[in-house]
Amino acid sequence: DAAALERRKAELAERLEALAQDESRHALLRRELSSIRQELEEKEAALRQQEEAISAEAKLVQSVKEVMREEASIIEAQADMIEAALSEAEALEKLTLDAAEDAATAAA
């Protein structure tokens, strides 16, 4: 019957409109998802760059520490040499004073 056919036609038209709206929403969601994925990839790339920079900085800090240890060893060795030279100078001074006393005693 014609009325039933019209109702069926109207129902199908409503379902078709609902499907079109769903498809539109899905397309919007796909674009948003794509945008989110791109943003995530960019953030991951930035994070990798930060990790690489931190790693390079850590290596630099390690190198500086090694150089500082070497410099400390050199300074310690120089301090030991200065102490030895001072001891030698003090011993020489004592010998000189002793020799001067001996000379004074011998002269007297």
pLDDT recorded at residue 97: 96
Alpha-helical regions (H) of the chain: 2-107
- The answer on pLDDT for 45 being more than 90 is yes
Q: How many CB atoms lie within 10 A of CB 84?
A: 10
- The answer on pLDDT for 108 being more than 90 is no
Calculate mean pLDDT across residues 87-97: 97
Rounded to two decimals, what is the model's pTM?
A: 0.54
Residue 69 has phi, psi (to 5 degrees) of: -65, -45
Residues 63, 64, 66, 67: what is their CA dihedral angle, to the nearest 10 degrees? 120
* Rounded distance between C-alpha atoms, residue 19 and residue 98, angstroms: 116
Q: What percent of the chain has pLDDT over 90?
A: 99
* Rounded distance between C-alpha atoms, residue 21 and residue 26, angstroms: 9
Calculate mean pLDDT across residues 17-21: 96
Query: In one letter, which amino acid is 49?
Result: Q
